[in-house]
Amino acid sequence: MAELRLEHIYKTYKGGVEAVKDLNLTVKDGEFLALLGPSGCGKTSTLRMIVGLEDITSGEMYIGGRLVNRLEPNQRNVALAFETYALYPPLSVFDNIAFCLRARSVPKHEIAQRVRRVAEMLDITDILDRKPAELGGGQKQRVSLARALVRDPDVFLMDEPLSHLDAALRAHMRIELKRLHAQTGRTTILVTHDQLEAVAMAQRIAVMNLGVLQQVGTFDEIYNHPVNEFVAGFIGEPPMNILPTRPVQEGDKLWLAALDGGFRLPLPDALRAKVERSKAQTIDLGVRPIHIETLDSSSEAVDALPATVQTFESLGEEGQLAAQLGDSTVLVVTSPLLELERGDAVKLRFRPDRIHLFDAATQQAL
């Protein structure tokens, strides 16, 4: 058990590709953290540096207060469950799990005991004699987890552990992994590109993009207070609507006017101070599809914006409306019971407490 601390970590590959830039991250002892980002964001490079399969170009990494930059993987006491499982093909499941214990010359009876215990935890006692190629995806996954857990690692890392499983198994394993974490209490890092996995399992989420850590926090913090447009757009499904606007002063009221002239929105008082403080020329207005109300076209509310229906799909539990607002298309999650046709006039109301504002120049939240 240990805390993992990354300080100013850089990773530059041969040829000058900067995979990770100035990464500062602390994973608390016993915490379950998800490293989330799109492909090529540097999350796997980070993971490989933590494990020791990749050199750290600069910066310092501590596990349990011990500087581990120069240590070989086996000296770090970290375990990794590989994306491709990386089972040892010629060895039986038992031998796969026992591999690291044998490599460390653990006494035979203790090996049998520990393998048995972890196999029970993962419910794979019945396949201990089988060979890897005879296993299904879910079983391989469990063996790979068992192999990582059997040695009581200080830090337990998982690289896209669910990406090769089918949907039903994935949902099941999400619960299993969460249970496993609760049961073992290990510092755990999950690398994934799937926000659903991150949200379902991790206590905190670290969002990365283009080698740079964007934001770390609980799902609530990241979802409700994204620090920039990338995080705002990456978290949440369907993604947040981003509309470019300009602040307009009119009397004592401040308005946001769409750059394409599609709408004018009176700025809620709570946001007014932010806009005035930032002095941004153009402001990207962000609002999630579920935070937009669809009103009747006859609505008189001052913040109801007239729009035209492009498409409306009733998906059973919810409806998805794509509406044209100026030149932009706005996605709205609605009740599935609405009856809307292409070309219908509606009014959209952005919930004032759910509006996000970003400086269009820096993409940072105001």
Is residue 58 within 8 Å of residue 135, measured between CB atoms? Answer: no
Which of 90/238 has CB closer to another protein? 90
Kindly write out the interface string for residues 143-162 of this chain, putting x where it contacts another protein by CB under 8 A and - elsewhere. Answer: ----x---x-----------
- Which value, to the nearest 10 degrees, does the dihedral of the CA atoms of residues 353, 359, 363, 366 take? -50
Burial class for 168, CB neighbours closer than 10 Å (0-12, 13-18, 19+) = exposed
Q: Of 20-28, 71-79, 228-236, 319-327, which segment contacts another protein by CB under 8 A? A: 71-79
Q: Is there binding between residue 99 and another protein (CB under 8 A)?
A: yes
Sign of CA dihedral 44, 49, 53, 56: positive
Binding flags for another protein, 19-58, as an x/- string (CB under 8 A): --------------------------------xxx-----
Residue 158 near residue 81 (C-beta atoms within 8 A): yes
- Cα gap 12→90, rounded to integer Å: 35
CB 124 within 8 A of CB 139: yes
| Stretch of 76-84, 252-260, 300-308, 340-348 contacting another protein, by CB under 8 A | 76-84
When the beta carbons of 102 and 253 are compared against another protein, the nearer one is 102
CB of 218 to another protein, least distance (A): 29
> CB neighbours of 229 closer than 8 A, spacing ≥ 6?
242, 284, 286, 358, 363
126-145 residues near another protein, rule: CB under 8 A: 131-134
Measured from the CB atom, is 96 or 245 closer to another protein? 96
Which bin fits 211, alpha (ψ -120 to 50), beta or left (φ > 0)? left
Please give the backbone phi and psi of residue 275, each rounded to the nearest 5 degrees, phi first: -65, -45
d(CA 241, CA 220): 19
Of residues 20, 78, 119, 235, which one binds another protein by CB under 8 A? 78
Least separation in angstroms between residue 324's CB and another protein is 49
Of 18-26, 80-88, 110-118, 349-357, which part binds another protein (CB under 8 A)? 80-88
Q: Does 108 bind another protein (CB under 8 A)?
A: no
> Which residue from 30, 64, 73, 352 is in contact with another protein, where contact means CB under 8 A?
73
* SS3 call for 267: coil
Least Cβ distance, residue 208 to another protein (angstroms): 22
Our measurement of the distance from residue 86's CA atom to the centroid of its chain's CA atoms, rounded to an integer in Å, reads 24
Kindly state the tokens that stand for 352. Answer: 């004032």
Under the criterion CB under 8 A, does residue 88 sit at the interface with another protein?
Answer: yes
Binding residues for another protein (CB under 8 A): 51-53, 72-75, 78-80, 82, 84-91, 95, 99-100, 102-104, 131-134, 147, 151
